[in-house]
Chains A and B, each alone.
Chain A
Amino acid sequence: MSAERVAFYIISALILGGAVAVLFSRIVIRAVVYLLVSLFGVAALYILLRADFLAAVQVLVYIGGITVLMVFGVMLTGAGRLDAPPSGSWKAFYAGVSSLALLALLGIVVGRTTWPTGGILPEEGSTSILGELFLRQHVMAFEVASVLLLVVLVGVALFIRLGRRKVAV
């Protein structure tokens, strides 16, 4: 068993363990910490896949941005207290059945298809190649993404202001 395979199994256990811990955690702020573990695992998986730029973006945006945003959300809504999963068994039953059906479907698709086994591993880092792709081939999508971020920034600020005024009235 090669070192890469051992690392893959450890990282996969970290990702899936973090996700399962989110599912069963009773305190919301702990669920955010478990999400952090899972996201770190995904970043490690990117490194294993030789996507070093994406791993850095994952750590910066997801772990540095979205997780902190969620902690803010928990603090602002006072949701850090006990949050028991619903005791209604029908909801758990339906959720479990539909998720297992999806898992079975995905398993069949993954198992039956013959996937390409090329695996050409580039020796150099992917950052310079990705930079070239962003500014040559995909420059339009790059600009659209920046406009999207601007619209979201202004829109969220406006949204919060309008919603608060409605509460005051």
Chain B
Amino acid sequence: MVSLTEYLVVAALLFTIGLLIVLYRSNAILVLIGIELMLNAANINFVAFSQALGGHAGQVFAVFVIVAAAAEAAVAIAIVVLLHQNLGTIDVEKARYLNG
């Protein structure tokens, strides 16, 4: 049987790669992908703890995290499309003056 620690190690690695994508890439859609990977790493932790502790509360929480992630992705894609319409680029380095 796979132990809880191994799931936590995989989730930690996935979170680190997600953080690296967010910090390193400058394309707004890739930054969004990095955020989704980090949320998935958190979800793996929730489900692994839920299974190790013998309850189902972690799975309930993971479903709410997925709901929040879907809402966040919808808003973020809208922002990216508007950014492209206003600036002509979705490079987050170039979007420096967003105060209207």
Contacts and interface: CB of A to CB of B under 8 A. Distances in A.
A148 B67 contact: yes
B98 interface: no
B2 A8 contact: yes
A160 B78 contact: yes
A50 B54 CA distance: 11
B85 interface: yes
Interface residues of A, number: 85
Query: Which among A19, A83, A98, A115 has the highest number of chain B CB atoms within 10 Å?
Result: A19
Interface of B: 1-10, 12-21, 23-27, 29-30, 32-34, 36-37, 40, 43-44, 47-48, 50-54, 56-57, 59-60, 62-64, 66-71, 73-75, 77-82, 84-86, 90, 93
Interface of A: 2, 4-5, 8, 12, 15-16, 19-20, 22-23, 28, 31-32, 35, 38-39, 42, 45-46, 48-51, 53-54, 57-58, 61-62, 65-66, 69-70, 72-74, 76-79, 83, 85-86, 91-92, 94-96, 98-100, 102-103, 106-107, 110-111, 115-121, 126, 129-130, 133-134, 138, 141, 145, 148-149, 152-153, 155-156, 159-160, 163-164, 166-167
12 contacts: A19-B14, A35-B37, A54-B62, A58-B66, A62-B40, A78-B84, A79-B27, A86-B25, A98-B19, A110-B12, A130-B60, A133-B56
